[in-house]
Structure 1
Amino acid sequence: MTEVFAPTSAGRTATLRDVARLAGVSTATASKAINGRPDVKAATRERVLEAARQLAFSPNAVARSLSAGRTGTVGLLTSDLEGRFSLPVLMGAEDALGVHETSVFLCDARGDAIREQHHIRALLSRQVDGLIVVGARPDSRPSLGQHLPVPVVYAYSPSEDPQDLSLVVDNEAGGRLAVDHLITSGRTRIAHITGDPGYGASHDRVRGARERLAEAGLGLAGDQVWFGSWTEGWGRGATRMLLERNPGVDAIFAGSDQIARGVLDVLHEKGLRVPEDVAVIGFDNWEAMAGESRPALTTVDMQLEVLGRRAAEHLSAAIAGRSRKGTVELPCRLVQRSSTAPVL
């Protein structure tokens, strides 16, 4: 007669005792078999493992890792889960952690400091091995402090504390890269329309752009930076004012792809050809915006998924005892499309 074991009641997770009962062994023997101890007969081990498969039994990860002092879990804390910039960072971090079979707890503080502290307490109560903090904008943010029992890595938004480890985009080099591309394409009358002057990244990009222009013996058209907002509307308005004051510009470096779309609208409106009359380059490489522009927009990619992966790698190193501090700047890359071309 075949004995049938009723697995577990609905909604209850199988335990080691359930596995031992189904396999017909003691709980101690079942534990040894599952953990690969050598003092268990092969037939017994196979019986225990088969019972575990039948019951979909998964050993408690926290309990199994206590001897190593780790749980194989990491907390990802963001303040803008729906953000266009934070999402790629989160995706990159999760991809890198997944390679090492590290589980991720994702929390969204929605820009609320009290909610953030609540999430931190909750994550620490789950005994996470470390935290990655992803900001919504590239400006510095308050540190979580040096008192936390686990390592912390800040991504995209750097910590104000130099004792922390922060990974950020090298926006100055990004501005330099954009203008270098325009100069090497033969452009000499280059204007810059960008967004909110309250963003440190805006000024970093301006600094990189001006430095590259100076090296070529050039300056910004009209010796002016057009600060405004990160919108197509501002791109349109600024371009109209720019063309009134400096009708001879032959290139425009836009501080975002959205601004660049507005720039393109007005150039078309004025009958100026892109890139033959005026070359246009954006910043962000937002595929939905840059790829669908007419013509398709050359832009600077901040490589945010790479940033997320590097943050996860640094966190893994810190968990293993190889921690570091300071700010690490990661390079941007140029994505060339049809809105720029060499002057013939």
Structure 2
Amino acid sequence: MVRNDAVPTVRDVAQLAGVSPGTVSKALNGQGQLREETRQRVLDAAEKLRFQPNRVARSLSEGRTYTVGMLTSDSFGRFTLPLMEGIEDSLGAGQVSTLLCDGRGDPLRERHYITELLNRRVDGIVVTGRRPDARRTVGRLPIPVVYALCRSDDPGDLTVTMDDEQGARLAVEHLAALGRTRLAYVSGPQHHLSTRLRQQGFERAAAGAGVEVADVLLGHWSEAWGRTAAGLLARRPEGARVDGVFCGSDQIARGLTDGLREAGVRVPVEVSVVGFDNWDVMVEAARPTLTTVDPGLVRLGRESASRLLTAIDGGEPGQGVVALPCRLVLRGSSVPT
């Protein structure tokens, strides 16, 4: 048994678990065809001895550094942080480290960070940003690259993102199920891909549900624009007013519900409102709280990292765009109580 003042070794773990050192290595690295009972016995022994693998020796023997780079343009962190949470979930707690680099959308800064990541011999890179819009590819690198949320402009690259159209469809189907028949879409700038995809999903779903698209208002990703749009909708003639609104973001939806309330329109009694993002800062602080479409950013991060690991291990991660489905989260802004 290992002495109290000694650093535990693989042999100490093997002795305590009653297996060979080779079996310990396979169990800790998730390799080999081991019985679950054997693998668990090794893990329990390692935990009891507080065994820490020698990462330098492991890296040298396997030709890997067990680090992954994450290049983002999302300085605010609204999208990067949940994506990183999912990425680290897939990479395994403490098994693979993540190096976060903020390129701020500057091509020169991004190129500098890519060079630094390559110099640090990272095993792969996840590229992400603020929006699902297409962005310039980082080019052909000697290591695997996966794009998360933002889309590479090279169809040969792999992008894992949200299904904006499907998310919009969830919102419209919910509003139609509530008996809402005159709907409006209020969103951000038209040149943003997410605005166009959500509008496309909104209009197709409305046609399928047999409800009227009464208005489409495009402006900015802000609460101020939501309040302005609310004023425009509230001033529509009595017989032409909308009774359901799908907003392209929770920021817009929060401003819109405030604006409707100020105009004397009751939400959700007279107008049901659905947002997009499930951003807790917005949805919980809104009055009423916001029903919204959750794009599943953490899950998106997990899938991106999982596919990157597949590529690092020599597998085929795929190419093109993989759009993951969204889910609807019900709160007070859509369902009268």
Q: Decide whether the 8 Å contact of 1:80 with 1:110 is kept in 2.
A: yes
User: Which AA in structure 1 matches 2:222?
Assistant: T
How does the TM-score come out when normalised to structure 1?
0.80
What does residue range 306-321 of structure 1 map to in structure 2 within 5 Å? 306-321=299-314
CA distance in 2, matches of 1:80, 1:194: 20
| 212, 216, 229: which one aligns with 2:220 | 229
Q: Deviations over 1:30-85 (max 9, x none)?
A: 9xx95659xxxxxxx9xxxxxxxxxx998863443233222211111112242312
Q: Distance in 2 between matches of 1:210 and 1:322?
A: 39
1:143-185 CA-to-partner distances (Å, cap 9, x unmatched) read 1112x11100000101111111110111011111111110011
1:154 aligned residue: 147
The separation in 2 between residues aligned to 1:98 and 1:124, in whole angstroms, is 22
Matches of 1:214 and 1:59, distance apart in 2: 59
* Residue-by-residue CA offset, 1:274-330 (whole Å, 9 max, x unaligned): 111111111111111111211111011111111111111011111111122111001
Q: Secondary structure of 2:212's match?
A: coil
Tell me the TM-score normalized by structure 2. 0.81
| 1:330 maps to 2:324 | yes
Contact 1:81 1:87 survives alignment (8 Å): no
Q: How many residues are paired up?
A: 295
Aligned equivalents of 2:282, 2:9: Cα separation in 1: 52
Paired residues for 1:74-153 under 5 Å = 74-99=68-93, 101-146=95-140, 148-153=141-146
Using a 3 Å threshold, how does the CA distance of structure 1 residues 66 and 294 change in structure 2: closer, same or farther? same
Greater radius of gyration (CA): 1
In the alignment, the residues of structure 2 paired with residue 290 and residue 246 of structure 1 have an alpha-carbon distance, to the nearest angstrom, of 29
2-side partners of 1:63 and 1:118: how far apart?
29
Given the superposition, is the C-alpha separation of residues 216 and 34 from structure 1 closer, same or farther in structure 2, using an over 3 Å criterion? closer
Stretches of structure 2 lacking an aligned partner (at least 5 in a row):
13-20, 22-49
Percent identity reads: 51
Are the structure 2 counterparts of residues 216 and 59 from structure 1 closer, same or farther at C-alpha, using a change threshold of 3 Å? Answer: closer
Q: Measure the CA separation in 1 of the matches of 2:201 and 2:301.
A: 24
Higher deviation after alignment, 254-263 or 204-213: 254-263
Q: Matched residues in 1 for 2:56 and 2:106: separation?
A: 30
- The answer on whether the counterparts of 2:72 and 2:104 sit within 8 Å (CA) in structure 1 is yes
Computed over aligned residues only, the root mean square deviation of the Cα atoms, in angstroms, reads 2.6
Contact 2:231–2:263 (8 Å) recurs in 1: no
Counterparts of residues 192-271 of structure 1 (less than 5 Å): 192-221=185-214, 224-247=215-238, 248-271=241-264
Distance in 2, Cα, partners of 1:79 & 1:291: 27
Alpha carbons of structure 1 residues 246 and 89: separation in structure 2 relative to 1, 3 Å: farther
Q: Distance in 1 between matches of 2:191 and 2:83?
A: 22
* Deviation at residue 213 of structure 1 after TM alignment: 0.8
Question: Retained in 2: the 8 A contact 1:71–1:129?
Answer: yes
Unaligned runs of 5+ in 1: 1-21, 24-29, 38-44, 46-55
1:168 aligns with 161
2: CA distance, partners of 1:283 / 1:96: 25
